[in-house]
Amino acid sequence: MRLFGIKMSAAVWLLFSAIFISTSAFDVSSSSNFVVYWGQSSAGSQKSLGEYCQGSTVDAVVIAFLYQFPNTKLDISGTCKSTFPNSDLLHCPDVAADIKACQAQGKAVLLSMGGATGAYGFSSDSDATKYADTVWDTFLGGNASQRPFDDAILDGIDLDIEGGSTSGYTAFVSQLRSHFTGGGGKQYYITGAPQCVYPDAMLGSTLDSAWFDMVFVQFYNNYCGLNNYPGSFNYDAWDQWAKTKSANKNVKIYIGAPGSQSAAGSGYVSASTLGSIVNSVRDKYAGTLGGVMTWDASQAMDSSTWGQSVSSSIKSATAAPVKRRRRRKYQPGWKPKRK
Cβ atoms < 10 Å from Cβ of 295: 28
Q: Quick one: pLDDT at residue 249?
A: 96
Q: Quick one: pLDDT at residue 286?
A: 78
Q: Quick one: pLDDT at residue 1?
A: 40
Q: What is the pLDDT of residues 48-101, one digit of tens each?
A: 999 999 999 999 999 999 999 999 999 999 899 899 999 999 999 999 999 999
Catalytic annotation, pick one of 162, 200, 213, 296 = 162
CATH code: domain 2-316 is 3.20.20.80
Q: Quick one: pLDDT at residue 281?
A: 98
d(CA 99, CA 90): 15
Nearest to 267 by CA among 233, 315, 302: 233
Q: Quick one: pLDDT at residue 45?
A: 86
Dihedral (Cα; 118, 257, 248, 336), 10-degree rounding: -20
Q: Quick one: pLDDT at residue 318?
A: 45
CA 106 to chain centre: 15
Which residues of the chain fall short of a pLDDT of 50?
Answer: 1-8, 11-22, 318-324, 338-339
Q: Are the CB atoms for 37 and 293 separated by under 8 Å?
A: yes
In eight-state DSSP terms, residue 323 is P
Q: Quick one: pLDDT at residue 333?
A: 58
Q: Quick one: pLDDT at residue 317?
A: 79
List Cβ neighbours of 331 (8 Å cut-off, separation of 6 or more): none
- Strands (DSSP E) contained in 177-313 are 189-192, 214-218, 252-258, 289-295
pTM tops 0.85, yes or no = yes
Q: Quick one: pLDDT at residue 40?
A: 96
Annotation says 51 is catalytic: no
Q: Quick one: pLDDT at residue 205?
A: 98
Phi, psi of 284 (to 5 degrees): -85, -35
